[in-house]
Structure 1
Amino acid sequence: MTDRKPDRVLDAGALKALAHPLRVRIYNLLGERGPQTASTLAALIGETSGATSYHLRALASHDLIHEVVGRGTGRERWWELPKGSVDLPGPDEMPTPASRAASQVVMSEFFRLRNDSLMEYLNRPKADQPAEWRDLGLVLTARLDLTPEQMASVRDQLQEVLDSAAERFHGQEDMPGTRRVSMRAEIFDLVDGPDRHHSAQEES
């Protein structure tokens, strides 16, 4: 069983600072594409550099991002995500209505962007992919009948695979031939699925 803990759990103040669709998108782009400036982000999302600069400062004020040391000038600053993993608390973990609303905005935007990136990959023509990167992705779905203990075991195995890969390949962002990839693991019970134990009790 994994004992992995996030490097940072976002508090209510950080969540409120992030709770804006454009800020979530900027934060997500920094994760997907690495360091960016206000100008490069503006070109990516179709906003003015003044708008992206404003949102970057708001994110930086809560240490959600920081300036890249030794890169850029006073006129053009480069920004990146801090190293390490981040936990985004769900609405049910927040103590006030305002913080719960902030968490809802952040979570919904992150998962919308996550789905968008998956659909972009699925719809990308092979001709647009370098030959060495074709057919490397994997999108699988398995439907299993599990007990809570079995689901916890599978979940922890998936987490260990992700943690192992993250540790093994850490620090390769400047290595020639690498490309940023998205690695995901999902396991959850289906709300409308059959509860085998409950059904058996009802039928007895």
Structure 2
Amino acid sequence: MTEHEERKQRRLDARALRGIAHPLRMQLLDALRQRGPATASQLAERLGESSGATSYHLRQLAAHGFVEDAPEHGKGRERWWRAVDQGLVFDSADFESAGPEVRGMAEVFLHEVAGTHARELSNWLSTRGSWSGDWHQASDMSDATLRLTPAQAAELIRRMHALVDEFRGSATDADLPDSEQVRLHTHLFPIDSR
């Protein structure tokens, strides 16, 4: 797999939502993206689930094209899995005219993403004492309130994503001795100020 293939993103449609809109499936996919290929048993242990449940949901993810076999990792009958894409693109405009079932799956998906963000932030806060002072200084938990038009908000998002892509494209990051995988959450939404 080339670096570009490893980072490709998949745009969600109604069929894809049927395959991903489940909390355990989303956790399995995130685990494979963040830590690389694994077996159902390894994922079960990591996530505190039964291997039967992880096997079933991995097969469902495979049926919808989110994961695939990673045979180069297997030994004997052991089945290894890897994520196909490194990101998902959810555009609410794609589901505006969808029926109630699809809109419900979209809600499940979005709420699970929000829950994952909250769990990741909470985990950082719980474990930050085990990280160096440099990482304390390099972490951020901030918010801002701006007054923007929808067009300005879209431009801000586009520019933030472009900046993230600049850092993602740095070829030497993995070679630096103090580099670590980091998570960046951004949320931009209107609030009722009336």
Q: TM-score range by the shorter chain?
A: 0.7 to 0.9
Native 8 Å contact 1:68 1:78 kept in 2: yes
Q: CA deviation at 1:116?
A: 0.8
Aligned to 1:36: 38
- Write the deviation string for residues 15-69 of structure 1: whole angstroms up to 9, x where unpaired: 1122222112212222233222111111112111121111111101111111224
Identity of aligned residues (%): 33
- Aligned counterparts, 1:1-204, within 5 A: 7-90=9-92, 92-93=95-96, 95-126=98-129, 128-130=130-132, 133-169=135-171, 172=174, 178-190=179-191, 192-194=192-194
Report if aligned partners of 1:12, 1:94 keep a CA contact under 8 Å in 2.
no
Task: Return 72-81 or 82-91, whichever deviates more.
Answer: 82-91
**TM-score normalised over the length of structure 2:** 0.80
Larger Rg: 1
Question: How far 1:143 moved relative to its partner?
Answer: 1.7
Aligned residues: 186
Q: Which letter maps to 1:118?
A: L
Deviation at 1:182, TM superposition (A): 0.6
In 1, the alpha carbon distance for the partners of 2:75 and 2:177 equals 26
Shift in Å at residue 96 of structure 1? 2.2
SS across alignment from 1:145: coil
2:79 is matched by which residue type in structure 1? R
Report if the CA contact (8 A) 1:89-1:103 is conserved: no
Counterpart residue type for residue 43 of structure 2: L
Instruction: Report if the CA contact (8 A) 2:71-2:79 is conserved.
Output: no
Name the counterpart of 1:202: none
The separation in 1 between residues aligned to 2:17 and 2:56, in whole angstroms, is: 17
Unaligned runs of 5+ in 1: 1-5, 195-204
Distance 1:138 1:52 in 2: 33
Using structure 1 for the length normalisation, give the TM-score. Answer: 0.77
The answer for the alignment partner of 2:5 in structure 1 is none
Q: Relative to structure 1, is the Cα distance of residues 122 and 58 closer, same or farther in structure 2, using a 3 angstrom cutoff?
A: same
Aligned-residue offset at 1:137: 1.1
CA contact (8 A) 1:68 1:79 kept: yes
